[in-house]
Amino acid sequence: MTLRVLLIIGWVGLMSVGLSAQKDNKEKKEYSVVCMGFYNFENLFDTLDTEDVRDSEFTPKGSRLYGTEIYQDKLGKLSKVVAQLGKELTPDGVALLGVAEIENKSVLEDFVKHPNVKQRNYEIVHYDSPDKRGIDVGLIYNPKYFKVLESAPLEVKMISKRDGERVFTRDILWVHGELDGESIHVLVNHWPSRRGGEAASSYLRQGAARVCKDKVMKIYEKEPYAKIFIMGDMNDDPTNASVKDVLMTVDKAKKVKKQGLFNPWEVNYKAGDGTLAYRDSWNLFDQIILSHAATVKDKEGGYSYYKNTIFKKPFMFETKGRYKGYPLRTYAGGKYKGGYSDHFPVYISLIKEKKK
């Protein structure tokens, strides 16, 4: 396997912007880098009217006039963004990418075949979710870096406090595999929305978070020092109860206890950064959370956390009108905008020292 090699001096200087060198340490070390990301694809539907799925608006005769031309343009826009994620550190870009708001496996199959990313030979992990709109989560991965060992959908069963009916939401996707021969676990999430109000719906996201947390604890029973990556559109910020109280995350890697969880995005959020805009303020719903083992220099020579990035380039912003400065989305007010997504993607960079 050929990985991008990074030359740096010392370990201490790594946490600054870029891969920098500490002046008082002349020992040269080589590092490999791999990037892992998450992107909400904002309604990547096919153009078919699927039975028992609320997708009629995303059809040629639907309210959005969503035909082949728009679908292909959407694939092109999304793949343009994904092709650039992590490229400043590795020519292969993201090795793993969790995705949300996809209708089915076929749209992911079309996505990975797009010329913008086809050369990476991405493969797919996907299961159909019970969500009534028909949207799912999935994982695409580069087999050059990652090998799937096992996977499963984790059902999120909840009852509405409003009407006592079952709430059908997205499953959580669990994937266990080897990243360059090293065991890791990935959990891809898309928690229930804030429809009905943030406070009134918070119990739903806390419920999804508990399903996620329960799986983490089960993983720890078999692998006490497992490297776990919880990614997704949480529909909550890093400081909300679902993340802080249920997952029990901390905002700094040095604070993480064994079998604890580190959320690097909390610092970004408190600084006013975000991945989506709503009513002239920013939220940071899109996160990648790491277990303790993934944050510390691995004595066995495995990967560990280096830095986190929100990917937002000028071409991804709305430049005029009421939503100037917001992410440039596909539709706004029911009209086709030709944008990318209403969310910015996020990714983390992991590094490991090359053995001499």
pLDDT score recorded for residue 28: 79
Q: Rounded distance, CA 232 to CA 116, Å?
A: 23
Tens digit of pLDDT for each residue in 30-67?
Answer: 889 999 999 999 999 999 998 888 899 999 999 999 99
Residue 298 predicted with pLDDT over 80: no
Q: Rounded distance, CA 266 to CA 287, Å?
A: 9
Tens digit of pLDDT for each residue in 193-205?
Answer: 999 999 999 999 9
DSSP string, 158-206: EE-TTTSPEE--PPEEEEEEEETTEEEEEEEEE----TT-HHHHHHHHH
pLDDT score recorded for residue 30: 87
Tell me the domains of the chain and their CATH numbers: 5-353 (3.60.10.10)
